[in-house]
Amino acid sequence: MAAETLHPARRGLMLILSSPSGAGKTTLTRNLKSENNLDLSISVTTRAKRPSEIEGVHYRFIDRAAFDAMRQHNDLLEWAEVHGNGYGTPRKEVEASLAAGRDVLFDIDWQGTQQIVKKARADVVTIFILPPSMAELRSRLIRRAEDAEDVIVKRLANARDEIARWSQYDYVIVNHDLQTAYEQIKAILTAERLKRSRAVGLNDFVDQLLTEQLP
């Protein structure tokens, strides 16, 4: 076999980003997905669609009955109630991506993160994104101008609970600047993809390397 074909196979990983609403995570996940060969897990949610959101791209918007049915049929890899709405990760798509050796990116809260970590610790990498200040978080929520005033107040209150979970994550990034935060996540992804434990074919690769006949 030609030496250049001996690339060891790699196990797909699950990269989870969590942060309070408005910390910049949505922009980061979109950029990461398009430039880093990742499958983005599209969640289902019972919350109302924001004007800028597209069905099937940002979420699959479903009603409470459909959400409860997915839960009951074990169709969700994890689920949680956030800001009074149901959110969940459809299991089928994620399992298909991982089975094909592809990495999957998640934009989910700390409750869902805990559930996935419990199921597959070795295949999960978790990153928490912090805003530079609470004042900045509030102005980002207001600037986004997609939520009503009372929703913003609720999201800010919830942000404190969410932030309190920071120490459960493998990595923590302070998003002072979107480009820097993006580069830092890319660096984490690159290093995690190269971890010895994820290169399932490495033993065979090294065996062949050591028995390779030199001309």
Positions at the binding site: 19-26
47 binds ligand 5GP (CB under 6 A): yes
Tell me the two tokens of residue 189: 């992804």
Choose one: 83-91, 125-133, 193-201, 202-210; the region binding ligand 5GP (CB under 6 A): 83-91
When binding is defined by CB under 6 A, the residue of 13, 15, 16, 21 that contacts ligand 5GP is 21
38 binds ligand 5GP (CB under 6 A): no
Per DSSP, the three-state class of 17 is strand
Euclidean distance between the first and the last CA atom of the chain, given in angstroms as a whole number: 14
Tell me the two tokens of residue 8: 């060891």
CB of 60 to ligand 5GP, least distance (A): 10
43 binds ligand 5GP (CB under 6 A): yes
CB of 78 to ligand 5GP, least distance (A): 6
Cα separation of 91 and 112, whole Å?
A: 13
Choose one: 85-93, 123-131, 163-171, 199-207; the region binding ligand 5GP (CB under 6 A): 85-93
Pick from 15, 21, 59, 29: nearest CA to 162: 21
Cα separation of 189 and 184, whole Å?
A: 9
Nearer Cβ to ligand 5GP (78/192): 78
Sign of the alpha-carbon torsion through 94, 99, 105, 108? positive
Helix (H), strand (E), coil (C) string for 101-169: CCCEEEECCHHHHHHHHHHHHHHEEEEEEECCCHHHHHHHHHHHCCCCHHHHHHHHHHHHHHHCCHHHC
112 binds ligand 5GP (CB under 6 A): yes
Nearer Cβ to ligand 5GP (160/195): 160
Cα separation of 116 and 170, whole Å?
A: 14
24 binds ligand 5GP (CB under 6 A): no
When binding is defined by CB under 6 A, the residue of 31, 36, 111, 208 that contacts ligand 5GP is 111
Annotated binding site for ATP: 19-26
Residues in touch with ligand 5GP (CB under 6 A): 18, 21, 43, 47, 78, 80, 82, 87-89, 107-109, 111-112
